[in-house]
Amino acid sequence: MKKILPYLLILALLPALCACSLTRAPAGTPPAQQTEPPTQQTEQPAQQTERPTGQEEAAPMEVTKEYLIEHSSLTEADFEGVDFDDFAAHCGLSLELLEEYAPELLLGLYKAELAAEPTVDYTPLYEAAEGRVGEDELPEVETLLWEYHEGTYNDCMVVDRAKGAVYYGVGYFLDACGESSRVADFGEEDAAFLLETLRESGIASWQNEYEGTSEGTTGHFAWAVCLKLSDGRSFLYRGGGVMDSGTPDTLRPMMKALIERFAA
């Protein structure tokens, strides 16, 4: 009986041993291949948008007075009386500008503009003129201007009550009245004189246009008188062509009275 027990034990374990032999891979068999590809990386790493510290763009170099003196023929004396900050802002001073224009030229133009005489252009009153002034409107005359041309002779005058100034001279300057042509101040005591002169001229009954003739002429002849009221309206009276252009009889006496009052 003892000799049979080992065989019985082997018979009992035989089915289990067979099952193990069927599931175990033979020796030398390679491992099973991966059939599905690994998931691809679809998201790209975020790009760096900020400039690394220490790599910021350098600010444009400021052009100073010392820089101009060092890099041009300008001296400290050239900047005497010059507000350098205003000069730099006025011309937009920069290294790029200096590549196109010499510092001497820029400073010279700046000084010339400062020295230029401020002027007033009165000719737009001509363009705005319409109709004729009424007798009752003469006290409201704020500006009177006239011009006179006979051959090569020209003179003109502006009486500006608002500015308190009278301009007069030989030549034409109605589009650029400045201090060089200012001959007198206009005060309140002159207002009555101006009103009386306008009334005596009979300007309220003048025509707007007068035509010239060809008799007894030695050259071109033209004149114009313009009035502006305090409400902004303006009125123009003029004649042109050749001497004499049928001017009102009171034109020259009016001009003479104004010259004697303010410019004699």
pLDDT tens-digit map of 176-216: 899 889 999 999 899 999 999 999 999 999 999 987 755 55
95, amino acid identity? L
Q: Give the side-chain half-sphere CA count within 13 A for 156.
A: 22
- Residue whose pair of structure tokens reads 């114009």 in the numeric block: 224
| C-alpha–C-alpha distance, residues 174 and 123, integer Å | 6
**pLDDT of 99 above 60:** yes
Report pLDDT for 105.
94
Beta-ladder partners of 237: 225
> Average of pLDDT values for 150-157?
89
Report pLDDT for 29.
46
Q: Is the Cα dihedral 259, 260, 261, 264 positive or negative?
A: positive
**pLDDT of 251 above 80:** yes
Cβ atoms of residues 180 and 259 within 8 Å: no
- Residue whose pair of structure tokens reads 């003196």 in the numeric block: 69
